[in-house]
Structure 1
Amino acid sequence: MPARFDVVANTTLPQGDPLRLAHQIRQDMWRKLQKVRGFSPVVQLTREGDVIRVEAGGRVAAPVAPGLSGEIADLLACPAHRARWVAQATRSGRRL
């Protein structure tokens, strides 16, 4: 089934292991939005030069609540989360 973004936010992060990076972001997004009815998180990574472009969001079964994209954007902008994601993504030698 192809990924569907009913709601989405974007950011860029330094290069690192894409699987670790996607897993960490998806996990934190799920924790933050697990009470949103029918939410299924999706993370898509694309290499753009020296950085990785992150599209995070997902499928929502119910009508999308106002501000949901903003909540995801806040998560992606959180310095503590970003530092942990980058640290985890650089633990492995794989690069996107």
Structure 2
Amino acid sequence: MGRDRWHEVEEAGALVVARHWPVRFDLAVVTVLPRGGRRFLAHQVRQDMWRALQGLRGFVPAVRVTRTAEGLEVVAGGEVRGRFDRAHAEARIAAVLDDEANRARWQRRAR
């Protein structure tokens, strides 16, 4: 567990950042980004996703980053303790992942 109480675990070739272990993805959105630093990218995606969903009661964010031939596959989502509108929550995560300003910032800093 990291110094900020986040688990950073290498699992089957992927870096997983999560508050609780074992990680659970009740909701998840996938995107592919160009190659870069996985650890920094995972934490930045987690922070931006948290800001977008902090009003979702019982939300515990998690991010999995895997190197692929196309770049970095990012799975963003996490656990939700309680009932929630999956489509709405996943649309908000997708908006964070698809935002060009976010993607540019992540790429600039994740070298």
> Is 1:62 equivalent to 2:67 in the alignment?
no
Q: Secondary structure at the match of 1:72?
A: helix
* RMSD, matched Cα: 0.9
Match of 2:52 in 1: 32
Is there any run of 5+ residues in structure 2 with no aligned partner, and where? 1-20
Deviation at 1:50, TM superposition (A): 4.1
Is there any run of 5+ residues in structure 1 with no aligned partner, and where? 91-96
> Is 1:85 equivalent to 2:106 in the alignment?
yes
TM-score, normalised with respect to structure 2: 0.78
Contact 2:32 2:70 in 1 (8 A): no
Segments of 4+ in structure 1 off by > 6 A? Answer: none
Match of 2:6 in 1: none
Match of 2:61 in 1: 41
Q: Distance in 2 between matches of 1:88 and 1:41?
A: 21
| Paired letter, 1:3 | V
Q: How does 1:68-79 map to 2 (within 5 A)?
A: 68-79=89-100
Once the two structures are aligned, what percentage of the paired residues are identical? 46
Match of 1:93 in 2: none
Deviation at 1:62, TM superposition (A): 1.5
- Bigger strand fraction: 2
Q: Which has the higher contact order (CA 8 A, sep 6+)?
A: 1
TM-score, normalised with respect to structure 1: 0.89
Contact 1:6 1:64 in 2 (8 A): no
